[in-house]
A and B are shown apart, each in its own frame.
Chain A
Amino acid sequence: MEDESEGSLSPSQDSIQTPAVLPWDRFSNWLHCACVVTFDLELGQAMEIIYPSHIRMTEKEKMNICYLSFPDSNSGCMGDTQFHFRIRQCPGRKQIIKSHVEYNRECPIQLKSDDAHYYGFVFFRQTKDRSIRRGYFQKSVVLISRLPFVALFSQLVSIIAPEYFENGEPSLEAACHDIDQWGPPVPGETMNLPIFGTVLQVRIPTHKDKLVGAGQTRTQSVPTLPAQSILPSLFEVDIYTAFQTILPHVQMLWELMLTGEPLVVMAASPSVTSNTVQSLVSLISPFHYCSDYRPYFTIHDSEFKEYTTKTQAPPSVILGVTNPFFAKTLQHWPHIIRIGEMAGEASVPKGFNKLKKASSLKTLDCKPGVYTQYKPFLMKDKGILKRLIKGMQTKRPVEAQNAILRRHFLELTQSFMIPLERYMASLMPLQRNISPHKGPPSLRQFDVDEFVKTLHQSGPQLTSIVKGEWDGLYRKFFRSPNFEGWLYHRQYEVNQKLQVLHMEALCQANLLDWIQDKEEVEIVDLVLRIREKLKFATNNSVAVKPENINKLEKHMTTIISSLPEDLQSVLNT
């Protein structure tokens, strides 16, 4: 029993050894590029290295990366600081990554490869250095990707950057070369990712994962290689630490997230803002948060004007900011979270439970807390808060606190989601209405009032103990981009499914019998329709069995040959 593999180690990844793989192809399955941003005395922040060197970015993208790769105020950031950001990709010259098309079909929706944004994972180092004119060494290593693999890439940059600061460019080159040996991300698989003498092991989630208790259902194939470092998650962040100082308000924040309310997170460090913003976004999983969010945002950002204008209502976005300037600029925002330093004490801070009026926030020196006038629709679940505070006092490990919190919100979100799914299912046409002789049936329209009427019978009260005005929350949700995104995605999925069912009905039908007593025009119509279906099936790789497609193609040939010759020649061209 001898076998070998190169780079990628899972058995099903052998295919990547095909000779068609070009240098950097595999690298770009994971990262867009790695950069080094330095502080130039004349230019300010400047891009020193982009690796691989053939990667092209627009000046705007480069500017945004440069500014977002340094903490806004460096004085408080001696030593190493890690955080991440998200920027818009400039439109045009979209490079389609083949493996991402496949990956996107199978991955959970919130982990899709983003074709409109880049994520940047920063490791910033600031040390005293007398040999430099300003007296400080300041540099960042940044990994840029379309994939929101926050946990993996944060870990990765923390491995690569210190080596780079120690040994310079060859280590960055070596790191990128290591990544260029990784197999493409395959949902459902546990990947072994060699980097700098160790192997990171991480599982890529799939949309088929069971939602509640996903942790227990990890029955993936046994990896061929015992990894040296196992990452517990590809993307999950430490939500407990992020919310520790504002725990009593997290359920309200969940409502704000669900309904796509504008929100700003203020803190002294980009590490705190990025972790908090990412935690907020993950709060409503498995819903995909559809508005823009910026884990770290500065006054130099190219969207600064667009997002901070006072001439319009604040946009549906979340911003993480550290610059005191924003306290003024974003004063008119309806919801502001101010995260302070946690003393690390087990005691519950004073005023922990109180909400603060947004207008009372004038400077960044204000007390930590949530500043809003929002009235939650749901009543606070005090049980979860008690549990977490007890955990605080008994020094329960952060991982356990995280699991409790995450599970609580997953259940709450699912309670909210189940009635929507149930109603959606009622919009499906009946199986018996799928006829090969008619076009594919379509989904009925989503009717908000009709939906709200179902809540009385089968609302979230069936699965959640949380009481309150659920229907009000739904109505607010229906006006948010999150609903639009969810509905679009579900409609797409359902229509895809209906196409498959219709196609299968068509394949099974005895079309030759059917055309016996039909007019020529009806037959031609049928032929054209079948052609369209076949085109659709091949374009969208619809899950129809190939033998069924073959059958249909044969039917077609027979039908066409039964037509008069002049028609035949028209249809065959």
Chain B
Amino acid sequence: MSLREIKLCLLGDSGVGKSSIVLRFVRDQYKDHVESTIGASFMTKHLVVDDNTYVFQIWDTAGQEKYRALAPMYYRGASAAIVVYDVTRECSFPAVKDWVRELRHNVPGNMVVAIAGNKCDLTELREVRTEDAKQYAEDIDAIFTETSALTAENIKELFESIARRLPPEEIYRPNSGVYNIRKTDNPEKKRQCCSGSNKSS
């Protein structure tokens, strides 16, 4: 059985429920009032999918505008990103497109992108149509799901489908990810270093 390390980040407007999704996934909890995130929060979670163990290193970024410029630090080197919007707030959806554009522009290689329409339990308040979001996700070849951190609907499934979508060559082998810190300044170099030692092992 392989152990695979996944750096994942959550992006999206303030108040769409990024931290709630993480809290539900990691601890299976829900809080009515979650303080707004500062910078980013970090959590880890082991998940077994199809006999493979995945260690998710989750960077839950802050949605507030003042932290906007910090986002690249958190999605840099990530294998996956979840871009979250609120199905009850029309204006949170265009931001998804901005994030996807930014990711495509700044992240080399094939990052797995998932789009999550959160708060889908609030049916009577819905402003974003499922079909519209789904169509957009298909166009950009992203995973799409509607979630509810409150009811836990599709939360675990979201992470499972991300795990399944990951390109196979990046499987983590113990001792292959160890390299001197001086080499990590440049993300390009780091990539070479990892793949180099993978081949040799």
Interface residues of A (CB under 8 A from B): 1-7, 9, 155, 163, 166-167, 170-171, 173-175, 177-178, 181, 194, 196-200, 224-232
Contact = CB atoms under 8 A, between A and B. Distances in A.
Contact of A174 (B45, B55, B62, B172): B62
A1 B48 contact: yes
A266 to B, nearest CB: 28
Contacts of A224: 44, 55
Interface string B45-73: 11110000101010100100011011001
> A interface, by DSSP: helix, strand, loop or mixed?
mixed
Contacts of B184: 198, 228-229
B40 A197 contact: yes
A174 B5 contact: no
Which of A171, A174, A175 lies at the interface centre, i.e. has the most chain B CB atoms within 10 A of its CB? A174
A228 B27 CA distance: 24
A2 B55 contact: no
Nearest to A200: B181
A3 B46 contact: yes
Given A166-B69, A178-B39, A6 B26 contact: yes
Nearest to B181: A229
20 contacts: A4-B26, A5-B43, A6-B26, A7-B42, A174-B67, A174-B70, A177-B38, A178-B40, A194-B57, A197-B7, A197-B40, A197-B74, A197-B78, A225-B57, A226-B5, A226-B55, A226-B172, A228-B77, A230-B180, A230-B181
A275 to B, nearest CB: 16
Contacts of A170: 39, 66-67, 69-70
Nearest to B23: A6
Given A225-B5, A226-B5, A199 B57 contact: yes
A170 B38 CA distance: 8
A254 to B, nearest CB: 28
* In the complex, the 5 A-B pairs of residues with the closest C-beta atoms, listed nearest first: A174-B39, A194-B42, A177-B38, A197-B73, A197-B74
Interface string B13-27: 000000000000011
A181 to B, nearest CB: 6
Contacts of B70: 163, 167, 170-171, 174, 196
A518 B48 CA distance: 70
Nearest to B176: A226
A167 B5 contact: no
B27 A197 contact: no
Contacts of B55: 224-226
A167 B46 CA distance: 33
A95 B50 CA distance: 51
B46 A2 contact: yes
A4 B5 contact: no
Contact of B44 (A5, A177, A200): A5
A230 B53 CA distance: 22
A230 B42 contact: no
B38 A6 contact: no
A230 B69 CA distance: 26
B45 A2 contact: yes
B177 interface: yes
B76 interface: yes
A378 B46 CA distance: 57
